[in-house]
Amino acid sequence: MDSTDFGESIRHVSAFSALAEYAESSPHNEMDYKMTGGNSRLANEFAERVGSENIKLGALVELVEQKRGTVRVRYRSSDGVAAGTETLRADAVICTAPIQSLLKIKFDPPLSPAHQAAAEQLVYARISKNSVVYDERFWKDEDFSLVSDLTSHYYFHSTQGQPGKQGILTAYAIGEKADVFASQSDARRMRIVAGDLRDVDERAPKLARRIVSYAWQRDPYTDGAYALYKPGQWFGIRPILQRPHGKVLFAGEHLADWQGFMEGAIETGEAAATALIRQGS
C-alpha cells in the first residue's frame, strides 16, 4: 500500500521522505481534489496569460550558456514549423527539466561536480498507469479503491462524481509489476487489469471495453514517473540539486517537499520566481 505513494517499496525510500508522507497534518491531501473540466485548464490558463506566441513547443534544449551577465539557451526545434537550431537570450533562467532531461543539457560553465553527481544519483519511480473503461460501474461505491497483491497493484475510481452508466477504474502498477505491464500489448494489459477484479465482480473482464496505458519509466524525457529519494538522499543530494547555478535556478516536483504532484512543481516554481525577484531588487 505504501508503494503507491513512492513508486517503490517503502524499504527503498528515504525515512524522512516516508515520515513526511504520514506526518502531514492536513486531513486532506492532493488526491482528494479534482479540477472541474480537467487539469489541462490550469496549463491552458498559464498559456493564455504568458501568451502562446511566447511558448516554444517541440523544442529540445541543447545548451545553457552564461556570459557577461546574460544567459543564452540554444534549442533545436523539431515541430516541423521552424526546424533547426535557435537561441534565446535572457537575464536568468528557471530550469524545470526532469533530471534525465537535465543530464542531456550542456551547461557552460558546467554544473559543479557535486551537482552533476547528485543528478546522476537521483532515480525516478517505475509506474504504469492503466485506465480501463467498463460498460457498467459494478464497483457501486463512488469512492471505490482497492489495493491488491496482484499485478494490478492499486485501483481507484477515475469517474467519481461524474454521471453516466459507463465508468473508469485506473490501476497503478509499480516497480517490477510496472515493467511487466510495459512489456504487454494493450489487449493483454486489459485482460490482466480486468481479470484481477474477478473477486470484486466476476463480470469485470466481460464489461471491460478499452484501455489507455502509459509506462512512465519508458518516457524519454523523465525516465520514470516522479523522483524517488532513497535512504540518505533527502538531506544528501536534494539540497545540492536545489542550489542555483549562477543565473540558472531550478524547480520541479523532484525538488518539492512531496514528489509526484503538480502542487510541488508549482510551489518550487513560485519559490524560484520569488528568488529571482529578490535578486533583481
Q: Which domains does the chain have, with CATH numbers?
A: 3-36+125-218 (3.90.660.10), 40-123+233-280 (3.50.50.60)
In this model, does residue 82 exceed pLDDT 70?
Answer: no
The pTM score is 0.87
What is the rounded distance in angstroms from the CA atom of residue 133 to the CA atom of residue 159? 10
- Whether the ω angle into residue 220 lies within 30 degrees of 0, i.e. cis, is no
CB atoms within 10 A of CB 121: 16
**Of 14-28, 56-70, 143-157, 227-241, where does mean pLDDT reach its minimum?**
14-28
pLDDT of residue 259: 85
CB atoms within 10 A of CB 68: 4
Give the model confidence (pLDDT) of 140-162 as tens digits: 899 999 998 888 889 999 999 88
What is the rounded distance in angstroms from the CA atom of residue 103 to the CA atom of residue 116? 8
pLDDT of residue 28: 60
- 3 state DSSP class of 87: strand
Which one, of 65, 119, 67, lies nearest residue 97 by Cα?
119
Residue 131 is given by DSSP the state E
pLDDT of residue 234: 94
